[in-house]
Amino acid sequence: MRRYDPNPTFLTKASGIKQKRHTRALIAFVIVVVLSLATVFVMWGVHMQSVYKEQFPDMVGAATSKHTKKPKEETTSEESSEEETSEETTTESSFAPVVPGIETMETAAETEETTQNNNPDPLPSYTPVEFLASHPIQSVSHEERDMMLEGLQQDVLYYINANPDERISFRYINLASNETLGINDLTPIIPAGAYALPAGITYCEGVASGLIIPTTTATYLGEGAPGNNSWITENYQPGKAFYLGTCMTLSITHNDSLAYSYLLNSIGGTEAVWDHMYPISGYINYTGSVTYEDYTGTILRGSGRTCVYDLAAYMEYLYYSYINDYDTYLPLIGAMEASEVPCAFTSSFADGTRILHISGRNEESHSYTDVAIIDGDEPVILVISCECSSYDRANTIMAALSGYLDDFLSACHQ
């Protein structure tokens, strides 16, 4: 077979085609590499921008912004509230009308709620009360004193009889000589807060025996106070906790009816107080029902009554118990001396006379009672209770009758 030599023209064309294909492949490869590098660069740029935003958020856009952005100041919630209140006050005319004062009052209430410490305050503490160890010797004979005591009785009776539209009870005990005088002292009365005296004795003796824990807590939940007389409701928002010992103190120092109810609930109620106290004196059963006529002539029947005879006996018991064991009874004696409730007896005795007292006030029944230890020329207990038109009238009655007692004691030492 005959072989033919390759056509030179064909070889040239084939070589050219091969060269073109090689060039095209190289160009395609370069394009792919460039596109890949561009993609990687763009992705890297996006990633770095995200990192930059996270680390310097306030600087993003700062270079192109037309306005300078001030850094945000950190303030506490209280400062923010005050600032908002101030802003609302100064720009009030520029915005829609608002009700005057409402925003400020709400802000103040929120601030008070956030600043109130709801934990119980420490238990009150008192310096021991030192009663006089000795008293002046009377300057009159026993016979003369007996006659003067009859004069005191006549003065009190005359005053009571001159005011027939009022119910008045009077009880006096001399702690040095056991001399006593009682007028209407067994008639039923509504003692109101004065019954914190036997409740306080029950508390003190319960603490001493370990049956009552003074740091037991009661929490004010916003409930109304019995008789609407409460220092707690006037000074605290709901949520405040109080130790039982503090409740006992407030029932004496402020005649706080809510604190008194907390105290009673924690020590077993009035039944527990009565069971503890009636061996000392129980002429009228506080938990039982009694029938009597009040100062308006209305016949009443109910429990929660006592008499000035029983209250005087409780105070006498407390006096001697404190002298023999002041640690046990100091919380009660100290609260009585620190009482912020006015006492009408102070106007009758000399300045500086130590008067420790517990008051009771029931406006619904117009019943007013005061039970006091008076450590003056002679140590005495005085209890006066009255039903009358008003609290002011009750103070007038108590001042007059305690004045008769002071006149009697002073006459015995002239």
- One digit per residue, the tens of pLDDT, for the chain of length 414 reads 444 455 555 445 555 555 666 777 778 777 877 777 777 666 776 666 665 555 555 444 444 444 444 444 433 333 333 333 333 433 333 333 333 333 344 444 444 456 899 999 999 999 999 998 888 888 899 999 999 999 999 999 999 999 999 999 999 999 999 999 999 999 999 999 999 999 999 999 999 999 999 999 999 999 988 876 899 999 999 999 999 999 999 999 999 999 999 999 999 999 999 999 999 999 999 999 999 999 999 999 999 999 999 999 999 999 999 999 999 999 999 999 999 999 999 999 999 999 999 999 999 999 999 999 999 999 999 999 999 999 999 999 999 999 999 999 999 998
Tell me what pLDDT residue 387 has. Answer: 98
For residue 176, give every residue at least 6 positions away whose Cβ sits within 8 Å of its Cβ, in sequence order, or none. Answer: 135, 378, 379
Tell me what pLDDT residue 105 has. Answer: 41
Q: Are 393 and 231 in contact (CB under 8 A)?
A: no
Tell me what pLDDT residue 36 has. Answer: 75
Q: Are 338 and 126 in contact (CB under 8 A)?
A: yes
- Please tell me whether the overall predicted TM-score, pTM, comes out greater than 0.75 for this model: no
Tell me what pLDDT residue 227 has. Answer: 76
CA-to-CA separations, 258 to 202, 235, 250, in angstroms, rounded: 18, 12, 9
Coil, strand or helix: which one is 182? strand
Edge to edge, the sheet with strand 367-375 lists 180-183, 167-174, 379-387, 367-375, 354-362
Tell me what pLDDT residue 65 has. Answer: 45
Tell me what pLDDT residue 63 has. Answer: 44
- Buried residues in 370-404 as b, exposed as e (16+ CB within 10 A): bbbbbbbbbbbbbbbbbbbeeeeebbebbbbbbbb
For residue 207, give every residue at least 6 positions away whose Cβ sits within 8 Å of its Cβ, in sequence order, or none. Answer: 213, 214, 245, 328, 331
Q: What is the widest separation between alpha-carbon atoms in the chain?
A: 181
Tell me what pLDDT residue 54 has. Answer: 58
Q: Residue 376 carries which DSSP code?
A: S
What is the token pair recorded at 214?
A: 């003074």
For residue 355, give every residue at least 6 positions away whose Cβ sits within 8 Å of its Cβ, in sequence order, or none. Answer: 343, 345, 346, 349, 372, 373, 374, 375
Alpha helices in 224-278 (DSSP H): 231-235, 244-253, 257-267, 269-277
Map out the domains of the chain as residue ranges. Answer: 142-411
Q: How many Å apart are CA 249 and CA 253, to the nearest integer?
A: 6
Tell me what pLDDT residue 224 has. Answer: 87
Q: Tell me yes or no: is domain 142-411 CATH 3.30.565.10.
A: no
CA-to-CA separations, 16 to 19, 22, 25, 29, 131, in angstroms, rounded: 5, 10, 14, 20, 133
Helices (H) and strands (E) in the chain, counts: 12, 9
